[in-house]
Structure 1
């Protein structure tokens, strides 16, 4: 059985990319994978034709026998019972006549071999690296083994992060940092943590990773610099072999002396690093958009299941989603006229009176410069064109969204 130490995972997606049966799904918050149901695969139990079967074999001499799943395409009738029975939701029907089903583990070990931080293993044979990140007592800003790729520098909404030299170590100005956690969510190597919290990583897609052979001089700078040993030397033509998947830190691109390497990375939006004030239960959310339509400052954005963007009430092809202002204060930090500020509000939660941060706005001080819109790490702020209320998208913790939610997915925390 393949096991993962999710605490040390950098969410690079290399394991997902190399899995021949698509049995691994790396998300910003978790790793979903076929674990053969602890040795008793339910997909094989319910298969009426015996297309999915359990097989035991020894990976190494003297090692404990392992369970693997084997699939016979000629026996599969695409009934879908395996998909329904899979507790991990990895088994899927493909519609491909030659491989009707995917998502089962064949114990090929390709994921174990490719993991750059060795957090994937097989108990008793290849133990996953057992590093557990303990952030207690580390303070509001904690930098650990930074590789100096600089990926976190540009996303910082208040320019609190500096990197004097590529390959060095970042510095974060404590008096400037607003603790939004976007750097921690972006860091490809789990090297920075904010407010003693483990972040949900931003999703990313490598659209292109290219090597221009005519420029490559075979110096192997990128090979030596790659923190995950993804890039390999190609002695056959004095160049390098670039991987299909990697952490996308682009350290290799930045250090290449001849600009032979290039990479295009598309990043998803950041996710709230701090839910203190407004809690959100994703499992309860039905994406009806009532909260977004009720919010008086348009601080919530919902894409409904029917393809409607709320509160703008515009049609969209985007997947159902929920996003909101988390009152990180990035807008207030850059506002030159003090039109935006971080205030506070008292709330009674479970019988206890607590103080929570809120965003306060004085429209008469706003000069509509747009600095706050650019600074917002969650793309919530927007101009209205209304002179009396020129900016919207900030949360005042009024609580109207909580009352409007029909599924009770929003709550005070």
Structure 2
């Protein structure tokens, strides 16, 4: 049985791409794969014609594993195997010789190709244990950055700098903790506000190598963090993989431009994509939402020049600003007075879970670290002894109830 340590997975998709029977699906949040039902595959039991069978396979000396074998001649594409598959990996394709896909044949190709060794076989090669402890690491934490620069372009505020390809990135104070860099990083090297990200999807449209340009320097071989590229010493060239982490480091470092890669990225999910949605076209900037918010997590400049909820006159243009629950404040709170929790809300009749900021005033010593960490300048000290720090969103929804124009909603 193939096993995965998902905590250490970088979601590169190499295992999915190399699997000959399409028994692995890597999603941004999980890995779905055929586990042969613990050695007793339900698909084989359900097959009326014996097209799918269980075979004991000696994978190492003295160690046998159950694997599935398929006989195309016996398959009538009835679909009963797909109906009983608990992992839902089996699919009836109807294609000749491959009428059914999604079952594990224990070929071990996924184990061999994994760049971070988190795929294994119990008793034969255990998956690498990777523990990601982000506690106390702060709003921006960078570890083992390979300097590929993949995160630089997605940053909406140009806060990331790559001085030299192959050297670690730096993140400046303009960072708004949106998390797009963390979602994009192919090597799990950057974390925002102590959160493990849901990765963006990606697809390699093309990865090409021009052997006529190659000078056999092996720069790409040595630079590849996942050892995907192999040297071909006989011809002084290299062999590039069909699937990899798609960081592009090899392309950037190749001195003769012999490599090219085209990667199509899926949409990212910045931290403000979920929570409270604000419709600027509906908003009349009257400030009712800011005045109603129990934690002063909304700041509105009205059309009459009033700053709410402070009720101070200002020359600033009408505007709406709110806490987006990025979690930067919680990541620097040494007393755990601020934390990121979850709440279940309803959107279009369906229950969904969203992040919220939780605050325990009894633990707060008003040190102000959270105020400095807030990228949106929302947090501030309060005169209320029961609320020494204000400006964080608990996702209570009172702002939406107060808005007469329905400019606010859950999203």
TM value normalised by structure 2: 0.71
Residues 266-305 of structure 1: CA deviation (Å, up to 9, x unaligned): 1111024478745xxxxxxxxxxxxx9xx85589xxxxxx
In structure 2, the partner of 1:78 is 77
Stretch moving more, 117-126 or 38-47: 38-47
When residues 126 and 50 of structure 1 are mapped into structure 2, their CA distance, relative to the original with a 3 A threshold, is: same
Match in the other structure for 1:26: 26
1:405 aligns with 2:352: no
Q: Spell out the pairing of 1:305-316 with structure 2 (5 A cutoff).
A: none
Q: What are the within-5 Å matches in structure 2 for residues 226-375 of structure 1?
A: 226-273=224-271, 277=275, 296-297=279-280
3-state DSSP of counterpart to 2:54:
strand
- Counterpart of 1:37 in structure 2 is 37
Equivalent pair of 2:346/2:352 in contact (CA under 8 Å): no
SS at match of 1:59: strand
Q: 1:65-214 residue pairs with structure 2 within 5 A?
A: 65-173=64-172, 175-214=173-212
Q: Which has the larger radius of gyration?
A: 2
Distance in 1, matches of 2:119 and 2:54, equals 22
Q: Which runs of 5+ in 2 are unaligned?
A: 306-318, 325-344, 355-394, 397-411
- Structure 1 match to 2:222: 224
Q: 1:157 to 1:52 in 2, by over 3 A?
A: same
Determine if contact 1:16/1:26 at 8 Å carries over to the other structure: yes
CA–CA distance in structure 2, aligned partners of residues 32 and 344 of structure 1: 44
Q: Which runs of 5+ in 1 are unaligned?
A: 279-291, 300-338, 348-352, 366-390
Bigger mean CA offset, 263-272 vs 115-124: 263-272
Cα distance change on mapping 1:219 and 1:71 into 2, 3 Å = same
**CA contact 2:44–2:81 (8 Å) conserved in 1:** yes
Cα distance between partner residues in 2 of 1:60 and 1:125: 7
- Change in Cα spacing, 1:361 to 1:164, as seen in structure 2 (3 Å) is farther
Aligned length: 320
What does residue 379 of structure 2 align with?
none
Q: Describe the SS at the equivalent of 2:44.
A: helix
2: CA distance between counterparts of 1:298 and 1:56? 65
**Correspondence for 2:340:** none
Distance 1:229 1:363 in 2: 59
Partner of 1:219, secondary structure, is: coil
| CA distance 1:56–1:405, change in 2 (3 Å) | same
Asked if the contact 1:359–1:396 (Cα under 8 Å) also holds between the matched residues in 2, the reply is no
SS at match of 2:203: strand
Q: Distance in 2 between matches of 1:187 and 1:225?
A: 16
| d(CA) in 1 for partners of 2:99, 2:61 | 34
Aligned residues of 1:199 and 1:273 also touching (Cα < 8 A): no
Aligned alpha-carbon RMSD (Å): 3.1
Cα shift at 1:14: 0.8
